[in-house]
Amino acid sequence: MKHLEYKGYTGSIEYSKEDDLLYGKVLGIKGLISYEGKTGKELEEDFREAINIYLADCESQGITPEKPFKGNFNVRISSELHQKAALLAMEDKMSLNNFVAESIRERVFKESSARKKSHRTSR
């Protein structure tokens, strides 16, 4: 999945067949910042403009802009998986938080490596 990036914000890219329009929203924040365009270039320009307007509005109102993907989130898993993860973390003499972070890091690295390899072979 492709995304837009600007000033630390990440935006989705969607397509509406009915409207023949590209659109998206900023990901990783509670507020809604949306944008649209007929072409990829228009979409990207509207995305950047939406971010700039959001930041200007926050500044004029004396509000701290929401930071996307702050680095903390709640995860709900089965008690059995929780127990197994906690025991493995203890065996490795690490906190459950570090165990989970390392597990996610490994999966993300594996996925991004596989996608890069797939992208190179599909050319």
Residue 108 pairs with which residues in a beta bridge? none
In this prediction, residue 112 has a pLDDT band, given cuts at 50, 70 and 90, of confident
Q: How many CB atoms lie within 10 A of CB 122?
A: 6
pTM, full prediction: 0.71
Enumerate the H helices of 28-95 as residue ranges.
40-61, 79-91
What does the alpha-carbon distance between residue 63 and residue 19 come to, in Å, rounded to a whole number? 35
What does the alpha-carbon distance between residue 38 and residue 23 come to, in Å, rounded to a whole number? 9
Could you report the per-residue pLDDT of 12-65, keeping only the tens digit for each?
999 999 999 999 999 999 999 999 999 999 999 999 999 999 999 999 999 999
3 in helix, strand or coil? Answer: coil
Q: Where are the domains of the chain?
A: 4-61, 79-121
